[in-house]
Amino acid sequence: MPKIDFYLIQTTSEQERLNFACRLIEKIYKQQRRIYIHTENQTAAHHLDELLWTYRNDSFLPHHLIGEGPDPVPPIQIGYNTLHPKQHDILMNLSSSVPEFYKQFSRVLELITENPDITSLGRERYRLYRSQGCNITTHKLTTFTEV
């Protein structure tokens, strides 16, 4: 069963949530881990793809959208409907529901903001993970530099 980490971010801004996601992705990449970012839909996947190219001038994060890149597959992949069969050890879930395939990862990251809709859906995911017997840790962030 994967370890689940909920990051409670004190903002209602989706852009600040995605900026935090980029910093967390960069940290994971520097730890030489493989991460799959699951988004809500194709538009959200493309938006995150662009953001990872531009969020910092002094950073390079090798990534691509599932099915759109060269081999070998980079350590950071973004998708929205199904998981490509390549191995990843961390799932960052930016969608509103728990992906069916979450159990194949060693760790799942959930980023929750103070937006009422995101908070409500996050609570539902928390209950589902808890009912499945997952080990859950909650991180309350007061600043966006905490990663």
pLDDT tens, position by position, 9-28: 999 999 999 999 999 999 99
Average pLDDT over residues 17-40: 95
The pTM is what?
0.92
pLDDT for 60? 85
Residue 145 has pLDDT above 60, yes or no: no
- Other CB atoms within 10 A of residue 141 CB: 16
Cα dihedral value 70, 93, 14, 31, nearest 10? -60
pLDDT digits (tens, 9 = 90+) for 52-104: 988 888 888 989 898 887 778 889 999 998 766 566 799 999 999 999 999 99
The Cα–Cα gap between 108 and 99 comes to: 10
The Cα–Cα gap between 124 and 96 comes to: 9
User: Taking all residues of the chain, what is their mean pLDDT, rounded to a whole number?
Assistant: 90
How are beta strands 135-141 and 107-112 bridged, if at all? unpaired
The Cα–Cα gap between 63 and 75 comes to: 7
Q: Which CATH class is domain 3-141?
A: alpha beta
| Interior/surface letters 26-38, b for 16+ CB within 10 angstroms, e for the rest | bebbeeebbbbbb
